[in-house]
Every structure is written in C-alpha cells, then in structure tokens.
Amino acid sequence: MLRGGRGAVAALRRAAGSRGAGGHGQGQGQALEPTLLRFLVCPLSKRPLRYDESTNELINEELGIAYPVIDGIPNMIPEAARTTRKKPPADSLKETSGPAGPQQ
C-alpha cells in the first residue's frame, strides 16, 4: 500500500528507472529504494514497515510477517509474506487448561 500521493509516485518512477534494461533477472538481489520506505505501509495493519537489508524484506513487527523485496520491488501481497515468529507473543496467550495437578 502507498501513502503520500505524488511523492510516492515519483519515488516509484525513480526506483523503476534505476533498474535499467537488465532489471528483469531472477532473485532478490536489488535492494529497496530508500525513499520508498516512507510511503509504504502494511496492507493488513496499515502501519509503517521496517526494511531489513540482510534479508531484503519489509518487516511488520506487530504482526510478525515479512514481505519480500524482489528486484527492488516490494511484493506486498499478504499471501507472499512469510511468518517471522514461531509462536504468538506471550500476552496474547490465554489460559485454556484447568488447574495443574494429576488427573484422576
């Protein structure tokens, strides 16, 4: 998702132009254009994202998901995101079992 109107469009054009004619290769080698980050928000939570250069992903810490950046283009389709957490945060866990102790 984009926020910011004309500035976002200009940043996208710069990012697309910087790839050049050879930008059709496979893989995730090209990094995200830094000016795009201020315009991008998570399509699910509508919150800003953090860019992780080491994995070339846009991270939503709150939801625990990461969107891939492929050839400098963020893939912000929720189904394309990977989960970054192995289990939900402790505050969202609810006690569902009865009192501890042996059952008879």
Mean pLDDT estimate for the chain: 75
pLDDT value at position 40? 95
Phi, psi of 58, rounded to the nearest 5 degrees:
-100, 125
Per-residue pLDDT tens for 37-68?
999 999 999 999 999 999 999 999 999 999 99
Average pLDDT over residues 17-34: 58
What the block records as the tokens of 57 is 């992903």
pLDDT confidence band for 9 (50 / 70 / 90): low
Are 30 and 71 in contact by the 8 Å Cβ rule? The answer is yes
Whether 98 shows a pLDDT value over 60: the answer reads: no
User: What are the residues facing 55 on neighbouring strands?
Assistant: none
Number of helical (H) and strand (E) elements in the chain, helices listed first: 1, 5
- Residue 33, pLDDT above cutoff 70: yes
User: Rounded to two decimals, what is the model's pTM?
Assistant: 0.59
Q: What is the pLDDT of residue 53?
A: 94
Q: Are 59 and 51 in contact (CB under 8 A)?
A: yes
